[in-house]
Chains A and B, each alone.
Chain A
Amino acid sequence: MDFSPDNMARYLDHRLGGKVRIDDISRFGRGTSRQTWFVDAMRDGEKHELVFRLDLDAGSFGDAPLDEEYFIYERLGHTNVPAARALWWEDDPQWATTAPFYVRSRVDGDWNIPNFTNPDPRYDDLRIRISKEWVRKIAIVHAVDWKGLGIDQRLPAPKSLADCGPNYVNMIVAHFEADRIEGDPILLESAERLRDIAPPASKICLCKGTNGFGEEIFRGEEIVALSDWEEVSIGDPANDFAYVQYLVPEIRQDGKSIWGMAQALDYYEELTGTHVPLKTIDYYRGVRMLRMLVMMARAAAAVHRYPRIAEVRQLYASTEVALHSHNVLLQSMGLKTAFDPEIFQEVHMSVEVLS
């Protein structure tokens, strides 16, 4: 897609009908797995705030296809989950010149909450309120009638509570095999182990997959849209607590834990009646490393196939992040590595955060 104002005006004239004026086009700087573009347009005095989603030019990190993401947004439009509205899918080569894309409505709000990451204890209450807000919203996701909405026609559903872990691992391996350019015996060994040790789920539900500060849209202290559904699945609710990126902070006051994963799970149980054991969350953290490896393999494939149009972050991720994932998986299998897990924290360092 050519995101120049002239082309965008022509496209929206065609798509929306009538004369469209483009007020602004910008690419969202956060979020690296796919391209996200914000487009503000006016048509007949009506403002249209649109979000365009498409794969990176050389191919995306996401191991699930873009049309699956669109499918989920469309299905979520029939639920009470706060999420942007899916508007249309575009695969006409006249407009989708590099790859298909979809368009959704933009939800007014911000991913950032001032002082949420400020370590000053004065903001502990804020952190807890936000954390509880996320638990309330993820509980809504987990209550979605995925079968009634036909989501299992697109995502593999586990056959039983015991099958949640293996089913999810199998889905990840299937994604790897679907776009494999190089085999990975460590991935197979890890997958086998993760199937073996999978704990039974407490229920089978729709899981968002990627959660955290930076993934959701807030207005004030309310989540008005849950974003980033690239890792959606049907399975164990514990999966959603395994990757929360600061949204369940461990907070201590006077040497006592006043908030953290244990309290968040208690709160979730209070809301839903579902008990999610901590050790099950550890299991899904391990599984996420497997998925990370698959995403990095996709990045490697993108760079290898199309080095001229790949992004340098794909190059980086496919080497160092993949290396970390391999090392963590080896360690979880009890194998020897000369790897210090603390170093893994470094991969999150960015010039933006440091400045």
Chain B
Amino acid sequence: MILPTIYDMLICMEQTIVNTVEPDLKSHKGLSATATIKHMLRQSALRLEHEGAFLVEDIARQRVLIRRIADYLSGAGDPIGATVAEALDAIPGAPEGYPTLSALSEIGVALRNQFHDGLKALQALRDSRADDADYAALRADIRTYAEWQIGEETKLIGPASFGQGPRR
């Protein structure tokens, strides 16, 4: 165990900016930069604490949805379905042991790109699938995922800045 914790360090750094750096700054340019840095330090603390758990859940949810998108596209005879499925299979799972945030982010981004490409192909089928309940259900589930994703990201970013002063 290393004390102080990373959170202690971030709080101490933020307060040093407030108590030591800012009183000596005269220009708006400098004060604007420190204002932004304080928001970013608070966000860093939140993300260090919670982003790993979010990413683990996000990766699991994305994998399920992307597989469904790939299967649907393949069932509709769209070759992009196979491309997306192959790309999905090629994206590695979580590393052994306690993962780093970077490793999880890399997986999450790779999945998001396949999700994006799959959704584009799915959107292109919309007119011809207007009466297909499976298509409608898949599209609805994608939107439900989007609600969840942004809800979680709001928890990671919002409290660091909302109501906490000028951003720049």
Q: Are A185 and B163 in contact (CB under 8 A)?
A: no
Q: Are A189 and B146 in contact (CB under 8 A)?
A: yes
Binary contact track B7-42/A, C-beta < 8 Å → 1, others 0 = 000000000000000000000110111011101100
A-B contact count (CB 8 A): 113
CB distance from A292 to the nearest CB of B (A): 15
- List, in ascending order, chain B residues with CB within 8 A of A339's CB: 150, 154
Q: A188-B116, A351-B31 are in contact. Are A343 and B162 (CB under 8 A)?
A: yes
- With an 8 Å Cβ cutoff, the count of chain B residues facing the other chain is 42
A316 contacts the other chain (CB 8 A): yes
Q: Are B119 and A349 in contact (CB under 8 A)?
A: no
Q: A335-B147, A346-B161, A351-B166 are in contact. Are A183 and B117 (CB under 8 A)?
A: yes
Q: Are A326 and B36 in contact (CB under 8 A)?
A: no
CA distance A189 to B43 in the complex (A): 28
Q: Are B109 and A351 in contact (CB under 8 A)?
A: no
Binary contact track B40-58/A, C-beta < 8 Å → 1, others 0 = 1001000000000000000
- List, in ascending order, chain B residues with CB within 8 A of A337's CB: 147, 150-151, 154
CA distance A323 to B155 in the complex (A): 10
Q: A183-B115, A335-B143 are in contact. Are A330 and B150 (CB under 8 A)?
A: yes
- With an 8 Å Cβ cutoff, the count of chain A residues facing the other chain is 37
- List, in ascending order, chain A residues with CB within 8 A of B117's CB: 183
A29 contacts the other chain (CB 8 A): yes
Binary contact track A331-355/B, C-beta < 8 Å → 1, others 0 = 0010111110001001101111111
Which of B102-130 touch A at CB < 8 Å? 109, 112-117, 119-120, 123, 126
A181 contacts the other chain (CB 8 A): yes
Q: Are A183 and B150 in contact (CB under 8 A)?
A: no
CA distance A354 to B157 in the complex (A): 23
- Could you list which residues of chain B lie within 8 angstroms of chain A, going by C-beta atoms? 28-29, 31-33, 35-37, 39-40, 43, 109, 112-117, 119-120, 123, 126, 142-143, 145-147, 149-151, 153-154, 157-158, 160-163, 165-168
A-B contacts, 15 listed (Cβ < 8 Å): A182-B109, A182-B113, A183-B113, A185-B145, A192-B123, A312-B36, A316-B39, A319-B157, A320-B39, A320-B43, A320-B161, A350-B35, A350-B168, A351-B28, A355-B28
